[in-house]
Amino acid sequence: MLSPFPSPRGVFRAARFIDDHLEDPLTIRLVAAAAGLADRTLHKQFQTRGTSPMRYARERRFVAARCALLAADPQDSVTTIALRCGFGHLGRFAIEYRRRYGETPSQTLRRR
């Protein structure tokens, strides 16, 4: 979740919605509607936090994927975990995951 510094209420509503819907396709319009804000207002409020709503969603998806890979059951695969965390393009997921964490998703899965 976002850091504990003061933030506009819309950011917290949007962050909560994003966190609850990581596996769903998200758009700025959908997140803004859930937060009760206009698209531009939501974007401006996230900018005060140094990010955008979609960058926040992407970061949360990677955190969720890493946690799921580390806690995976034997029958789980990288593909099922990536899809469950909202990643539709598995090649891009693997490349970005390695860039972020210094290992491939399958290496993380094997470490569980």
Tens digit of each residue's pLDDT (9 = 90 or more) over 43-67:
999 998 899 999 999 999 999 999 9
Q: What is the DSSP letter of 103?
A: S
Q: What's the pTM?
A: 0.86
> What is the number of other CB atoms lying within 10 angstroms of the CB of residue 5?
7
Residue 3 has pLDDT above 60, yes or no: no
Residue 5 has pLDDT above 70, yes or no: no
Asked if residues 65 and 24 have their Cβ atoms less than 8 Å apart, the reply is: no
Give residue 6's pLDDT. Answer: 47
Give residue 7's pLDDT. Answer: 61
Structure-model confidence comparison of residues 30 and 9, the more confident one:
30
d(C-alpha 40, C-alpha 67), whole Å? 32
Backbone angles phi, psi at 22, to 5 degrees: -60, -35
Q: What contacts 68, CB < 8 A, 6 or more positions away?
A: 76, 81, 84, 85
Residue 96 has pLDDT above 80, yes or no: yes
